[in-house]
Structure 1
């Protein structure tokens, strides 16, 4: 009986210590796995930290480069704006506009046409702001139409030195039929003829304005509708230049 009890207790102790050894081995394995996983996590964190630091360094460098580029572009934009303002101011100073541009164009046309620059300069220098002009003179004449071309269809100025005539489109009645007198709402053709000189033609809807120089005299004409079939002509006559 004593021997049996002894064997039972010894087997119990062996099972106890065997179970304890297995638990210890399992705990050691579990601890090892945990330590390995922890170490791996530390290494990954270190790797990510290094990567993040490199990315931050790269982004910081790119940010600095972009800021430098933006500063350079702003400087270039300010320089371009200043240059544009300077060119615009220079353009306004040097390029004629308005009446000066028109006069510059006329001078250029005369020079291209072969006029002597010295003669042109002399004519411009002789022009006076105050002019000794004759009083304006107003006359009228009947404008010729396709249905009425006979009779006196002109008038003259300065004792016949200048003759003015013209023609227009026939006016139409309520039925649409043409009449003898001209239609003032339609374009007309005015001819200014000097004795032995070249004719000047003005075209358009009345009123019209035309300036001509004949025999050292400048004529400034204004043509306006008058009584039915008539055109009123007002002429200023001044010495030229």
Structure 2
């Protein structure tokens, strides 16, 4: 009886030791796996931290580069705006406008036509505000129309030096029929002819203005509608230049 009981207890203790060993081995295994996993997690976190730090550093460099580029572009834009303002001011100062632009175009056309630049400069330099002019002379004449073409119509100025003629469109009566006199509400054409064949033509609705230089005199004409069928012309004759 004593021997059987002893064997039973010994086997029990042996099983307990084996179970404890297994438990310890299993705990060690679990602990080892846990520690390994923890270490792997730490390493991964370290790797991610390094990667994030590198990405942050890259983004910071890119941000700095973009800020520098933006600053350079702003500086370039301000420089361009200042340059544009300078060019606009220079354009306004140097490019002629208004009456000066007309005179510049006229001088350019005269030079292209072959007039000597020295002569043109002399003429301009001799122009004065106060001019030597004769009293204005006013006359009137009838305009030719499609129904009034026959006969000589016109007036002369400067003892026949300049002849003025013209033509217009026929007026219409209440019935819509054309009349022999011109319609002052329609464009007319006035021709000024000087001795030697020099001419000037102006077209439009009255009143009109035109000038012609003949010899050493400049004739300035003003044309206005007068009594039916007539045009009144006023001529100023001044020494040229």
Q: Could you state the TM-score of these two structures normalised by the residue count of structure 2?
A: 0.88
Distance 1:65 1:234 in 2: 77
Deviations 1:114-161 (A, max 9, x none): 222222222122111111222333322221111111345212223332
Aligned to 1:73: 73
Q: Could you state the TM-score of these two structures normalised by the residue count of structure 1?
A: 0.88
Distance 1:173 1:17 in 2: 142
Alignment of structure 1 residues 44-123 onto 2, 5 Å: 44-123=44-123
Deviations 1:173-222 (A, max 9, x none): 44443222222232211111223332221112222211111231111112
Distance 2:172 2:21 in 1: 131
Q: Number of aligned pairs?
A: 241
Distance 2:95 2:56 in 1: 56
Q: RMSD in angstroms over aligned alpha carbons?
A: 2.2
Aligned to 1:203: 203
> What runs of 5+ residues in structure 2 fail to find an aligned partner?
none
- Structure 1 residue 42, shift from structure 2 partner: 0.7
Contact 2:163 2:194 survives alignment (8 Å): yes
> What runs of 5+ residues in structure 1 fail to find an aligned partner?
none
Aligned to 2:221: 221
- Structure 1 residue 109, shift from structure 2 partner: 1.9
2:198 equivalent to 1:193 = no
Contact 2:200 2:211 survives alignment (8 Å): no
Contact 1:142 1:152 survives alignment (8 Å): no
Alignment of structure 1 residues 112-151 onto 2, 5 Å: 112-151=112-151
Distance 1:192 1:102 in 2: 22
- Is 9-18 or 211-220 further displaced after alignment? 9-18
Contact 2:211 2:218 survives alignment (8 Å): yes
Alignment of structure 1 residues 30-41 onto 2, 5 Å: 30-41=30-41
